[in-house]
Structure 1
């Protein structure tokens, strides 16, 4: 049974409808409404509005909970949206210049050696930040399999088109990711370096890797 009427907190017409929800959710919603100085009626309506928009766009609201859990952690690192192609172009340019220097026999040997070391250091930087991000993410997702499942469910919001996780054994996981078309070898190498650093936080290591165009396959194994 419902009754049409005016909302107390806006001009929009509301429909009063009884909806059965779990008791713990109702209690938490009521608490949040009080702390925000809003009515339960208003907060519940806003929540349903958001849920409706997500479902219309093809999302499952439960999937977005995973995204929010990830976002809360990453926001502490001052993460900003940045096109993947921008990162790839910058990284490709820097590595190309350094590799040319390291192979140029007209340059002093010590200079060429330093240029070669700088290329390796670039991958070490990606691995280092993978390690740091892994430490933060583990605060929210203590289990790597749970995290990978979360990533596969919210892949539409990430810089990948598809993520698939397969368990090959008790301590072995295969991760397959399809990125945007046009992904370069440099981009794949940077991502692999990041993954190596990341999974060490979960006591895993990369034992096999394959990158072809925009398809990346990585086998992870738990350390003994």
Structure 2
């Protein structure tokens, strides 16, 4: 049988207590509760339940705020989660066919030249979309250093094991990322192409890059 007032039932099993929170947070929480047609008690309880679960799983709630900011931006691009292995396998197959075409004596020189151009075009596509994503992300994170710091704090939710950001000089940043084991050269090359397009939106360029297995090191320098 459905309950007439599930929120009231929830309040009955909660223990009442007093928690000190910043005034602006309390005001915003009250506004949201009214907007959603809920009681402040219910909204606060649901928020604390989520926070407790995040902390229990080893996350800091403040870190998840960065993830939510990024998610809202990327959702506007119809982003679909996809295994990196799938991308690597598809790109690897395409590259293998294009390489065979570019070296084959059985086809015309024009087709071989077209196959060679297509290989470069493949990485240009990744760079182009990196540029587009960078334009969207910059609407939320205007400063590249702030963005990289946010990414390093939510790396557990991304396809990387560790991200480290170092400021080498006022205009130079070193980014080091450790991806999942088994990462191929194809995957690294696709990621580097994407990064080049992305950081261009922040007026940075890749001046040094090194990829060994699943470790990627990139030095970014602000354009003068």
Q: Quick check: TM above 0.5?
A: yes
Q: After the TM superposition, which segments of 4 or more aligned residues of structure 1 sit over 2 Å from their partners?
A: 9-12
The answer to whether the Cα contact below 8 Å between 2:11 and 2:42 also exists between their aligned partners in 1 is no
Deviation for aligned residue 1:107? 1.2
Residue 72, structure 1, aligned to residue 72, structure 2: yes
Report the secondary structure of 2:15's partner residue.
strand
Deviation for aligned residue 1:35? 0.5
Report the secondary structure of 1:98's partner residue.
helix
Structure-2 change in CA distance of 1:120 and 1:184 (3 Å): same
The answer to whether the Cα contact below 8 Å between 1:7 and 1:14 also exists between their aligned partners in 2 is no
Greater mean alpha carbon deviation, residues 104-113 or residues 128-137: 104-113
Report the secondary structure of 1:8's partner residue.
helix
The Cα offsets for residues 52-111 of structure 1, whole Å up to 9 and x where unpaired, read as: 000000000000000000000000000111111001100110011101110112211000
The answer to whether the Cα contact below 8 Å between 1:7 and 1:13 also exists between their aligned partners in 2 is no
Structure-2 change in CA distance of 1:9 and 1:33 (3 Å): farther
Q: RMSD across aligned C-alpha pairs, in angstroms? A: 1.2
- Relative to the length of structure 1, the TM-score reads 0.96
> 1:3 — aligned with what?
none
> 2:197 — aligned with what?
197
> 1:112 — aligned with what?
112
The answer to whether the Cα contact below 8 Å between 2:159 and 2:179 also exists between their aligned partners in 1 is yes
5+ long unaligned stretches in structure 2:
1-5
Deviation for aligned residue 1:127? 0.1
Once residues 52 and 103 of structure 1 are traced to their aligned partners in structure 2, the CA distance between those partners, rounded to angstroms, is: 59
> 1:149 — aligned with what?
149
For residues 38-77 of structure 1, what are the structure 2 equivalents within 5 Å?
A: 38-77=38-77
The Cα offsets for residues 20-53 of structure 1, whole Å up to 9 and x where unpaired, read as: 0000000000000000000000000000000000
Deviation for aligned residue 1:12? 6.1
- Relative to the length of structure 2, the TM-score reads 0.96
Once residues 117 and 9 of structure 2 are traced to their aligned partners in structure 1, the CA distance between those partners, rounded to angstroms, is: 63
The answer to whether the Cα contact below 8 Å between 1:176 and 1:217 also exists between their aligned partners in 2 is yes
5+ long unaligned stretches in structure 1:
1-5
Deviation for aligned residue 1:172? 0.1
Once residues 7 and 175 of structure 1 are traced to their aligned partners in structure 2, the CA distance between those partners, rounded to angstroms, is: 47
The answer to whether the Cα contact below 8 Å between 2:88 and 2:186 also exists between their aligned partners in 1 is yes
Structure-2 change in CA distance of 1:161 and 1:12 (3 Å): farther
> 2:3 — aligned with what?
none
